Amino acid sequence: MAVERTLSIIKPDAVAKNVIGQIYSRFEGAGLK
């Protein structure tokens, strides 16, 4: 059985704005890992 994973690439401006936590919580809320 294959394991599906999600690749998320965060742009540097998002890192500078400290919104990484919000982005990852959206992915987790959608059921993605």
The whole-angstrom separation of Cα 26 and Cα 10 is 13
Residue of 1, 7, 6, 8 lying closest to 32 (CA atoms)? 6
The label of the residue with tokens 């936590």 reads 21
Specify the pLDDT at position 13. 93
User: Is the whole model's pTM more than 0.75, yes or no?
Assistant: no
Q: What is the pLDDT of residues 1-33, one digit of tens each?
A: 788 888 889 899 988 998 988 988 988 898 877
